[in-house]
Amino acid sequence: MTELKTPAALPANPRFSSGPCAKIPQYSLDMLADAPLGRSHRAAVGKAKLKEAIDLTREILNVPADYRIGIVPASDTGAVEMALWSLLGARPVEMLAWESFGEGWVTDVVKQLKLDAVVRKAPYGQIVDFAEVDFDKDVVFTWNGTTSGCRLPNGDAIPADRAGLTICDATSAAFAMDLPYDKLDVVTFSWQKVLGGEGAHGMLILSPRAVERLESYVPAWPLPKIFRLTAKGKLIEGIFAGETINTPSMLANEDYLVALKWAKSVGGLQGLIARCEANAKVVWDFCAARPWIENLAETAEIASTTSVCLKFTDPRITDGAAFAKNVAKRLEKAGAGLDLGAYRDAPAGLRIWCGATVETADVAALMPWIEWAFEAEIAALTA
């Protein structure tokens, strides 16, 4: 067997995990020196830091002034669960799913809250047809399927005069895609995705319509303290001004502030979107030039610019899962790419995080290594 020639250079940063994601370029722990460690999050300095995080989030994401933004526990999962348990049940519900996290929200609503929801699903590689959705109902969906690499291209199908609420899990879309807030009543995400923040903290964004629902509707089920957004029928406004429900990490908050300030330095939301699109294009162009690998997304319109999911299509591959796993192992062993395996519930393949904190040069440097690992595994398969 002819020895394969290894690529000339490795990515400077081989971290392509889809969460927690790569830190900002030139990141250093020294950047966190201003964190008020050992201080109460309820002290003036703590509340000021948390409010600064909320204010910068609003500024960079262009969140409308009358929308509330709160820092909540348990990452994006916690933020979504707060919305589901606090808001649903007042109207009929439609659940939309095209990947594993969307499937998880279906399970919570149907099996835990026991609501008789309409469930619309699309297979991996596709998204639900939004033209068929009844927006007079409350509708729950992910904007970008982190485990499928398929996203909603825009909010055009969501009517402005809808009667129901739209609850959007945007954890791998926020800071990477232009979300139409006039079409979204609840938006959630975590710090650990596009800006490469630390885990365990979620963000909850509420429209005035969502606040009205919270203040006028009491769910039939008991709410744990950690989910409660109202007291005596009124929104707890402090949650949306830096007074968190439970104790946040001031170190993680400082890390988020560092990332937010970096985001401003690269052009804010539009700069972040451009970085993601440039990264994804490198992968798309690579796939377009090779017959043995494709984007899992079936059309370019719905292809994610952050969690880019790929599948191997070479007919010589008989065990797709084993093949993809071995390719990922080769890449990790070579130091070319870490955490590149597809999500456990997704079709076999690779998943390359192309979020804004990843440098385009590193994505470009990874591509020859993917080809090298593919050819090495094919050679081993056919030897």
At 249, which amino acid appears?
Answer: S
Residue 93 burial (CB count, 10 A): 24
Average pLDDT over residues 127-139: 98
* Residue 336: CATH number of its domain: 3.90.1150.10
3-state secondary structure 324-363: HHHHHHHHHHHCCCECCECCCCCCCCEEEECCCCCCHHHH
DSSP states along 89-129: TSS-EEEEESSHHHHHHHHIIIIIS----EEEE--TT----
Residues 277 and 340 in one domain: yes
Residues 329 and 226 in one domain: no
Position 339 scores a pLDDT of 98
CA distance 160 to 170: 19
Q: Which residues contact 66 (CB under 8 A, 6 or more apart)?
A: 207, 208
Residue 124 scores a pLDDT above 60: yes
Residue 2 scores a pLDDT above 80: no
**Average pLDDT taken over every residue of the chain:** 97
What is the percent of the chain with per-residue pLDDT over 70, rounded to a whole number? 99
Average pLDDT over residues 165-192: 98
Residues 357 and 328 in one domain: yes
Does the residue 17 lie in any domain? no
Residues 210 and 112 in one domain: yes
Is 87 in a helix, a strand, or coil? Answer: helix
CA distance 27 to 15: 13
At how many degrees (to 10) do helices 250-265 and 268-288 cross?
80
Residues 228 and 288 in one domain: no
Query: What is the domain extent for residue 304?
Result: 268-382
pLDDT in tens, 154-172: 999 999 999 999 999 999 9
pLDDT in tens, 302-323: 999 999 999 999 999 999 999 9
pLDDT in tens, 188-218: 999 999 999 999 999 999 999 999 999 999 9
- Choose the final residue of a domain: 264, 296, 330: 264
Residues 105 and 250 in one domain: yes
Does the residue 301 lie in any domain? yes
Residue 383 scores a pLDDT above 90: no
Residues 75 and 206 in one domain: yes
Does the residue 5 lie in any domain? no
Average pLDDT over residues 234-263: 97
- Choose the final residue of a domain: 264, 294, 312: 264
Position 1 scores a pLDDT of 46
* Residue 215: CATH number of its domain: 3.40.640.10
User: Nearest CA to 72 among 87, 53, 98?
Assistant: 53
At 205, which amino acid appears?
Answer: I
Residues 294 and 207 in one domain: no
- Choose the final residue of a domain: 228, 244, 264: 264
Does the residue 6 lie in any domain? no
Strand partners, 166: 139
Domain count, the chain: 2
Does the residue 366 lie in any domain? yes
Does the residue 23 lie in any domain? no
Q: Which residues contact 33 (CB under 8 A, 6 or more apart)?
A: none
Does the residue 3 lie in any domain? no
Residues 51 and 98 in one domain: yes
DSSP states along 279-322: HHHHHHHHHHT-TTEEESSSSGGGB-SSEEEEEE--TT-S-HHH
Residues 260 and 216 in one domain: yes
Residues 252 and 368 in one domain: no
Does the residue 10 lie in any domain? no
Residues 162 and 279 in one domain: no
